[in-house]
Amino acid sequence: MAGLALAAWTVLAAAQGAKPNVVVLATGGTIAGAGASAANSATYAAAKVPVDKLLAGLPELGNVANVKGEQVFQIASESFTNDNLMKLGRRVSVLVKQPDVDGIVVTHGTDTLEETAYFLNLVIRTDKPIVVVGSMRPGTALSADGALNLLNAVTVAGSKDAMGKGVLVTMNDEIQSGRDVTKTVNIKTDAFKSQWGPLGMVVEGRNYWFRAPVKRHTAQSEFNIDEMSDLAPVEIVYSYGNVPRTSFDANGKNGVKALIHGGPGNGSVADRIVPVLQDLRGQGVQIIRSSRVPDGFVLRNAEQPDDKYDWVVAHDLKPQKARILAAVALTRTNDTKELQRIFWQY
């Protein structure tokens, strides 16, 4: 089959000039959504439009690349599971090894897009561009953002200057790092931000770069989805004033390998919760302090004696991304010092 596919790409490429070959892996979300009327920019059903219709509705794609689509899932991204991440990652890993594939685009719901982008950033061993893209409005809405987001994603995925920059996210004309980006607002098209800023912009089919990632990713990663059977069980507990110990105990009994503590401020832990986390650590559960605060990063041994408690700090990773890194890292090590190194480096 691969031989036949290669022949098809080659014929198409020869016919259409030396445009890059980009595969679009569709998973659902608003970019595949549909609303009842053009005025419905926020009320719609996600994950309705199949990938072939999505691509056919954007003929401009043919100006920038030879594009093929695959429907991997058709789900809203809040419903993603570890199994979805592994299945998607395995498909990406197969495709990036094919010499006739120059880049990958993943169309995805925006709710958990940042988690999938970071996961792929950690486990796909390639320098080829991988671009995750979504939209805040369905294609049926006035001023829908999905078409240009998708065109920009295919442009970047087919660009040699996007190679080696880790997994990327193209939303609202910006090129964001899949590691750094997070959804900061639920009802505006400029929803995706990084506290460290975008890597660049795409404007009328051209990429403008202003910085590059410094954390390990993709080809430089020590992790490889081809060597992983599953993700380790890691859960998050969001902390707040009056938080009861029951939230933490329940997870401890569920056989988690690590618990992400999403604390206020510098990942602060309530005095009544410290012994609960120490007890879980004593049972072999890794404790990883993250912060619910949008920006900044958790300092080690500042308000909590992390060395003494044998805890890990999540650096600048928000709880949802800290979970992804811990779930990947724990497939290779359960050593606290190694985990802390990994959180500094990735």
Annotated active-site positions, please?
A: 30
Task: Report the length, in residues, of the chain.
Answer: 346
Shortest separation between residue 145's beta carbon and ligand DGL, angstroms: 10
Judged by CB under 6 A, which of 30, 159, 177, 207 binds ligand DGL?
A: 30
Angle between helices 274-282 and 246-253 (to 10 degrees): 10
Residue nearest to ligand DGL (CB): 109
Q: Which of residues 39-58 bind ligand DGL (CB under 6 A)?
A: 46
Token pair of 119 as six digits: 């996961």
Q: Which of residues 82-141 bind ligand DGL (CB under 6 A)?
A: 109-111, 134, 136
Judged by CB under 6 A, which of 60, 78, 226, 230 binds ligand DGL?
A: 78
Residues 6+ apart with CB under 8 A from 326: 232, 234, 257, 258, 260, 286, 288, 339
Number of residues that bind ligand DGL (CB under 6 A): 11
Shortest separation between residue 188's beta carbon and ligand DGL, angstroms: 11
User: Which of 23/76 has CB closer to ligand DGL?
Assistant: 76
Judged by CB under 6 A, which of 29, 158, 178, 200 binds ligand DGL?
A: 29
User: Which of 136/141 has CB closer to ligand DGL?
Assistant: 136
Tokens 């072999």: give the residue: 284
Strands of the sheet with 234-238, listed across from one edge: 234-238, 258-263, 286-291, 312-313
Interface segment toward ligand DGL; rule CB under 6 A; list 71-79, 197-205, 266-274, 288-296: 71-79
Distance CA 118, CA 173 (A): 20
Shortest separation between residue 230's beta carbon and ligand DGL, angstroms: 23
- Asked if residues 204 and 225 have their Cβ atoms less than 8 Å apart, the reply is no
User: Which of 69/158 has CB closer to ligand DGL?
Assistant: 69
Shortest separation between residue 77's beta carbon and ligand DGL, angstroms: 4
Residues 6+ apart with CB under 8 A from 22: 65, 66, 67, 68, 101, 102, 103, 104, 105, 154, 157, 158
Shortest separation between residue 109's beta carbon and ligand DGL, angstroms: 2
Residues 6+ apart with CB under 8 A from 267: 261, 289, 290, 291, 298, 304, 313, 314
Binding site for ligand DGL (CB under 6 A): 29-30, 46, 76-78, 109-111, 134, 136
